[in-house]
Structure formats: C-alpha cells, structure tokens
Amino acid sequence: MQTDSTSSLNPSPLRTIRTAKGMTLRTTAQRSGIDPGYLSKVERGQKQLSIESLYRLAVVLELGELAALLKPYLHSRDAA
C-alpha cells in the first residue's frame, strides 16, 4: 500500500501526462466522461478503466497512438 509520501515519489504515468498537459483532474474527467473521484482512484492505482473509458481518456490527453491501438476494440458506436 502506498502512503502519501510514496505516491508523491512515484506519480502515476497518467497523472504525469495529465499535469504535463496542464489539465486538472476535474477538467480531464469532465472531457472524458469519467467521474472525477473514479479518475482519482485510477491515478492512484485503486481502480481500472474500461477499454472505452481508456480510449476516451487517450483522446482527451491527445495520446493518438494509444487511441489508435484501442479503437479496434471498441463497439462501432463508441469509435465514431
């Protein structure tokens, strides 16, 4: 289990990317359609995202290669 001091020494890659792009957790959550509390838990490694949610997050964070890799696994209505 990570403590607050441990988590600040090893920030999650998702949080690192989000903050590097200057986005707040709330803004990122809102734009990707993910509950802010849930996204916070994802960043802390306590929850996992569905493929659909991960795809939306990749689009919001402008991670084109990840979005392209995930797109074939989405239902056609989600990939549009």
Q: In the chain, pLDDT over 90 holds for what percent of residues?
A: 79
Condensed to tens digits (0 to 9), the pLDDT of residues 13-51 reads 999 999 999 999 999 999 999 999 999 999 999 999 999
Task: Using CA atoms of 24, 28, 30, 33 in order, give the dihedral in degrees to the nearest 10.
Answer: -160
The superfamily in CATH containing domain 4-79 is lambda repressor-like DNA-binding domains (1.10.260.40)
Backbone angles phi, psi at 49, to 5 degrees: -95, 150
Nearest to 78 by CA among 62, 24, 48, 58: 58
Residue ranges per domain, the chain? 4-79
